[in-house]
Every structure is written in structure tokens, then in C-alpha cells.
Amino acid sequence: MSEIKNKDYEEGMEGAEENQSEEEYSGSRILEFYEDGEDKKDKPDYSFELAILYKLKKIDEELADIEEEKGDLPEKIEDLTERINFYEKRIEENENNLELLKSEEKKLIKENKKIEERANKYDEQKYNVRTNKEYDDISKMIDECFEMLDKNEKRLKEIEGLKELLNKDIESDKEKLNEYIEERDECQSKLDDLNAQFEEEETELNKSRKAYLVKLDNETRSLYERINSSYKGEAIAIVRRGNCTGCYNSIPPQREIEIRMAESIFTCQSCGRILIDESHIKE
């Protein structure tokens, strides 16, 4: 005798609700597009996701703009500071050289005065000489004085020319220096402003970015993030007159219609951006 128990049948798994599998559409989309049929509700509709994605793109565009604006200024400031340092150094060197020339000039003028005095003295002595030899010696000394004066005068003229050149260089360098300083100060205050301003703005943008991201399913979210990481702020392209506005390649007419119907999330075959029909972004 054997007992057969069928208890298991009764305690069996509670009938899990069967997931309504999404209908698959294949090939007949164009026709469906023209139908205003009642089955429209059953079609997958990604227009909500696409709207979110477009909003995300707008946010990321702003974030990219901020990054770009900010990223450019420190570089510019650095470059200008280098130029400023160069001109400051050159001006300093030239000013030092100018000072050296000026003191040399002073020394020569002083020296010339002494030589002239000496020459005058010799000249007076010339009338009191007793011998021809004394006269010749004095004449020789006077000649030597004039030779020295001549040499010094030549150098003084040279110095005059050098001073002029240096002054010109210093003047034009100072002009450039002031331009660069002005430009750098402008950049610096711009950067300071941006830093202060963006701190708040960026926090706000990142906050709404997060809020939009959580509305997307994982797959769409990671797709977007992946594309956005290479096209900063430009992960979405609009389909306009049959072209992708991201890369300007044409989109096949059939695909264009599919994109307009938003039954799926399509990416551009050429550039990989997510494609949105113009009609989906008109708010």
C-alpha cells in the first residue's frame, strides 16, 4: 500500500504575475506612425526620457561652459605673468645700465673740468718759461691734455647715444609692461568673479543634474554619462532637416521617423550622440 500525497501542488508557488512582455515592433513602424490607432498607448514611448536627457544636456552644457571659461583664464594669467616678469627684468637691467652710463658721464665731465684747469695752468706757465725745452715740455703736456679731453668728449657723445637708445627701450618696454599688467589684472579679477559666482552656480547645476539622473533607468543613465564623458555637454544632438546637428551627417529617412516617434533611444551612427527629434525639445 502506498500513499500518494499531492500536498506540494497545493503549497506550490503563488502564481507570479506574468509580466506583460513588451510587444515587439518590427518593420511596420512607418505604417503605425500614420495610424491614429488605439494601440498607440501600448507602444514604447521614450519621450519622457528624451526630455530628461535634453535637460541634462543643457545642464552639462552650462557646466562645460564654466569649465572652459575657467580653464582658459589661469593659463592666460600664467602666460601674462611670464611676460610681465620678462619685461620687468629687462627694464631693471636697462635702468641699471643707464645708471652706470650716467655715473660714467658724471665722472668724465668732472675729469674734463680738471683737465681743462690743468691745461689753462700750463698755458699760463708757457709765458714764464726760461728755456725752449721748458716751453716744449709744457706744450707737450698741453697737447696731452687736449688729447685726453678729445677722448673723453668722444666717449661722452657715445654715452649720449647709448642713453637715448636705452631710454627708448625702457619707455617702450614700460608701455608693454603696463598693457600686460592691465590685461592680467583683468583676467585675474574675472577669474576671481567666476570662481565666486560658479561655486554657487555649479552646486545648483550639479544638484539638478542629480535630480534628473535618478529619473532615468540605469541603462539610459550610463549611456548618457558615457557619451557625455567624451562630448562634454554635447551628448545629445538634434535631428534637423534629416541631419545630426552634432556631426552633420545625414540620417536615413526611416530612422528619422523612428526617432520622431521616440519608441527607443537612438544614437547617431557617425558620432554616437543620442538623437532627439526637434519636435521633442519644443516646450
**Given the rule CB under 5 A, which of 88-96, 134-142, 155-163, 263-271 is the region that contacts Zn ion?**
263-271
Say how far apart CA 264 and CA 24 lie, in whole Å. Answer: 12
Q: 145 or 268: whose CB is closer to Zn ion?
A: 268
Considering only residues 236, 271, 274, 276, which one is a binding residue for Zn ion as defined by CB under 5 A? 271
Say how far apart CA 94 and CA 271 lie, in whole Å. Answer: 57
Q: 142 or 227: whose CB is closer to Zn ion?
A: 227
Q: 236 or 244: whose CB is closer to Zn ion?
A: 244
Scanning residues 81 to 110, which ones bind Zn ion (CB under 5 A)? none
Pairing of strands 274-277, 236-240: parallel
Rounded to a whole number of angstroms, the minimum distance from the CB of residue 56 to Zn ion is: 18
Cα distance from N-terminal residue to C-terminal residue, the chain? 78
Q: How far is Cα of residue 226 from the mean position of the Cα atoms in its chain?
A: 24
Rounded to a whole number of angstroms, the minimum distance from the CB of residue 269 to Zn ion is: 8
Q: 84 or 274: whose CB is closer to Zn ion?
A: 274
Rounded to a whole number of angstroms, the minimum distance from the CB of residue 8 to Zn ion is: 58
Considering only residues 47, 97, 152, 270, which one is a binding residue for Zn ion as defined by CB under 5 A? 270
Rounded to a whole number of angstroms, the minimum distance from the CB of residue 242 to Zn ion is: 12
Rounded to a whole number of angstroms, the minimum distance from the CB of residue 246 to Zn ion is: 4
Give yes or no for residue 77 binding Zn ion (CB under 5 A).
no
Rounded to a whole number of angstroms, the minimum distance from the CB of residue 270 to Zn ion is: 5
Q: 73 or 235: whose CB is closer to Zn ion?
A: 235
Considering only residues 268, 274, 276, 277, which one is a binding residue for Zn ion as defined by CB under 5 A? 268
Q: 87 or 231: whose CB is closer to Zn ion?
A: 231
Three-class SS string for the chain? Answer: CCCCCCHHHHHCCCCCCCCCCCCCCCCCHHHHHHCCCHHHHHCCCCHHHHHHHHHHHHHHHHHHHHHHHHHHHHHHHHHHHHHHHHHHHHHHHHHHHHHHHHHHHHHHHHHHHHHHHHHHHHHHHHHHCCCHHHHHHHHHHHHHHHHHHHHHHHHHHHHHHHHHHHHHHHHHHHHHHHHHHHHHHHHHHHHHHHHHHHHHHHHHHHHHHHHHHCCCCHHHHHHHHHHHHHCCCCCEEEEECCEECCCCCECCHHHHHHHHHCCCCCECCCCCCEEEEHHHHCC
Which x/- pattern over 228-247 shows residues binding Zn ion (rule: CB under 5 A)? ----------------x-xx
With CB under 5 A as the rule, give the number of residues binding Zn ion: 6
Q: 152 or 270: whose CB is closer to Zn ion?
A: 270
Rounded to a whole number of angstroms, the minimum distance from the CB of residue 275 to Zn ion is: 7
Q: Which residues bind Zn ion (CB under 5 A)?
A: 244, 246-247, 268, 270-271
